[in-house]
Amino acid sequence: MIVIDGVDAVTDADFDHEVLGAGLPVLVEFTADWCGPCRQLAPVLSAVAGEQAGRLKVVQLDVDSNPEVTARYGVLAMPTLMVFRAGEPVKSMVGARPKRKLLQELAEVV
């Protein structure tokens, strides 16, 4: 898995606790080692995690090793970014994007 500064990895085992039970909105990146756009997105997510610390939790989930959560939310393309608030998915975005665009999209739900 691509390790991103400021971004924790979650798994099928701890997803419900770390994401659905979080006190903050959570941005989940559904990612895979073989995904080129996921690697492009890594520095963007790291920057967003730093800038939004205390307002937004940013995590990543490897789809290859965590098929249960991936299937539960119908994720088919990488990277998929999903925002969860109060245990519910409130926004879904597919594909890499620049930081400014991602922050604009997040402003609607954070």
Active site residues: 35, 38
Tokens of 23: 């006190």
Q: What is the DSSP string of the chain?
A: ---BTTBEEE-TTTHIIIIIT-SS-EEEEEE-TT-HHHHHHHHHHHHHHHHTTTT-EEEEEETTT-HHHHHHTT--SSSEEEEEETTEEEEEEES---HHHHHHHHHTT-
